[in-house]
Amino acid sequence: MSEQDVKKDAPMEKKRGRGRPSVTEKIAGSSASTYEYVITNGKKYRSKRSIADTAYAITAASILSEAASEIKDLEIIFNPDSDYMCRSILNQLGRMRRIEGYSENDVITIAKEAIQGKKGGRSVKEIEQYIRHGRMTGEW
């Protein structure tokens, strides 16, 4: 038996995880690959980061769709009846919930502020920066 045959028959060593852990592993645990498949709808995404952004946006979208009746003018940033969503704002709202651990009520409150800002003429980028600053520093 050659040395190559021995290596083929030997049990595979588990590779050591390096770099940033997958966001979907944090959210879904051992069923991360299934979760990724579900949120990507079977499509090939460019990177794990784009999958993570989608996961955060879906988190915020689900919170907002449950509270749609109490949020006036929600369709400005998210319309539960169509595919329209302001992804960068929803991404930040989802990160508030998943990463920083804000409550769903806090996410809804900040979504209402984002709607007011958008109605007041603020750009999506300005609103996104406001939410990012607030969730990282706690200063609203």
Where in the chain are the domains?
A: 56-137
Range with the largest mean pLDDT of 3-7, 8-12, 31-35? 31-35
- The pTM for the full model equals 0.71
Residue 123 pLDDT exceeds 80: yes
Percent above pLDDT 90 for the chain: 41
For residue 23, the model assigns a pLDDT of 62
Q: Which is nearest to 133 in space by CA: 103, 100, 98, 104?
A: 100
For residue 48, the model assigns a pLDDT of 72
| Across 78-86, average pLDDT | 81
* Cβ-contact 113, 70 below 8 angstroms: no
Residue 32 pLDDT exceeds 70: no
**Helix ranges restricted to H, the chain:** 3-9, 23-28, 32-40, 48-66, 87-95, 104-119, 124-137
How confident is residue 54, by pLDDT bands cut at 50, 70 and 90? confident
